[in-house]
Amino acid sequence: MATSVSRAPVVAHEFGAYVVSATANGRLFGVAFGDGMVRLIDSEILDAKPVEVQAHVGAALCLAADIEKGAFLSGGDDGNLNKISALGAVEVVAEHKGRWVEHVTTHSGSGVRAYSVGKDAFVLGKQKTEPRKLTHATSVGGLAINPKGRRLAVAHYGGVSLWWLAQDSPPALLPWKGSHLQTVWSPDGDYVVTAMQENALHGWRLSDNEHMRMSGYGAKVRSAAFGRRGHFLATGGAESVICWPFTGGGPMGKAPFEFGGAGGAPCTAVAANPEMDVFAAGFEDGSVIVGQPGPKAAMLIIMGGGSPVTALCWNPDGDRLLAGTEAGDVNIADFRA
């Protein structure tokens, strides 16, 4: 494998609280923290001072790009779902006193916002109307809206419930034993894949209800991302970045490709580059690499050493990469230079 150390400059911040989640909306990176702060960082002007907002009283638990440009939605253990504008104004979108807002996701094309509190998922539109409540038998472990913005996948114990967003109908259940957490939808909309409480992934092909079991991981998978064209699903949970091929009928019966893994620490976060067929991966030892699965695997070491990586995010142009850690470090690598 060809390895080189990046000379891309890195802008480093130390914020001192667990980085819960990071995402981008337009040119802004949004980063949510375990002390309830949300910081907005301009990916065009990396040395500008971040916009800082005390969004939650306790910890922020989740973050998504809002359907409005430049805004973000954050959920916290104070029971609030907040909208944070590009300038840092906070607006309470929903309140669930005494409970936790644990997952949030949006679809800008269809103008849908979805979040979860315990066993309930809620769907909100653009207008301030009463949200639609979707109840499940056990707590929600993950949310994902399909690429067309018409269906919501809700992961829970025992499988995934698929709801039509525009229809008031009961969900279709994708069953599988065990507890399902982070959920991703393939870019063509045909596969739903969950990272499980066990050290495994489970997937379903919707066109023929075919199951996929992807196991053999040494740790919890925790993070999974489809590449921009959907050819590969990159996953955490192993010392190298395990990438399952989704071309030509899916990964069933095929061996995964991998890259990285020199450090010996498990991969804790992955993010697909929106412009190129490469993935960024962060590890428990704090290192971050960028690489490409396949026979000509190659990688760049971007940053090394430190606290476990908990969040990774590219800007929409795919030339700036943000990595956040448990210790509260936020590093942004600049590939334009």
Partner 1 sequence: MTEQTQIPVTVLTGYLGAGKTTLLNRVLTENHGKKYAVIVNEFGEIGIDNDLVVGADEEIFEMNNGCICCTVRGDLIRIIGGLLKRKDKFDAILVETTGLADPAPVAQTFFTDDDIKKRTKLDSIVTVVDAKHIDQRLDDSDEAEEQIAFADIVLLNKTDLVSPEALAKVEAHIRTLNPFAKIYRTERSNIPLDQILNRGAFDLKRALELDPHFLCDHEHGHHHHDHAAASTIHDTDIHSISLSTDKPLDLQKFDAWVADVLMTDGQRILRTKGILNMAAKDERFVFQAVHMVSEGTFTGPWPSKDNRRSRLVFIGRKLDEAALKRGFDSCIA
Chain positions contacting partner 1, by CB under 8 A: 16-18, 20, 33-35, 57-59, 61, 77-78, 98-100, 102, 118-119, 138-139, 141, 157, 177-179, 197-198, 219-220, 265, 284-286, 307-308, 327-328
How far apart are CB 127 and partner 1 at their closest, in Å? 31
User: Exposed (0-12), middle (13-18) or buried (19+): which is 17, by Cβ within 10 Å?
Assistant: middle
Nearer to partner 1, 258 or 284 (CB): 284
d(CA 141, CA 160): 9
How far apart are CB 157 and partner 1 at their closest, in Å? 6
**DSSP assignment of 97-143:** TTS---EEEEETTTTEEEEEETTEEEEE-SS--PPEEEE-SS---EE
Nearer to partner 1, 107 or 180 (CB): 180
Contact assessment for residue 321 and residue 290, using Cβ atoms and an 8 Å cutoff: yes
How far apart are CB 320 and partner 1 at their closest, in Å? 25
d(CA 74, CA 153): 19
How far apart are CB 263 and partner 1 at their closest, in Å? 10
d(CA 138, CA 120): 9
How far apart are CB 17 and partner 1 at their closest, in Å? 4
How far apart are CB 78 and partner 1 at their closest, in Å? 7
Nearer to partner 1, 27 or 96 (CB): 96
Q: Map residue 280 onto helix, strand or coil.
A: strand
Nearer to partner 1, 74 or 186 (CB): 74
Nearer to partner 1, 17 or 301 (CB): 17
Contact assessment for residue 223 and residue 195, using Cβ atoms and an 8 Å cutoff: yes
Nearer to partner 1, 120 or 334 (CB): 120
Continuous segment of H or E residues that includes residue 306: none
Q: How many CA atoms lie within 13 A of 105 on its CB side?
A: 22
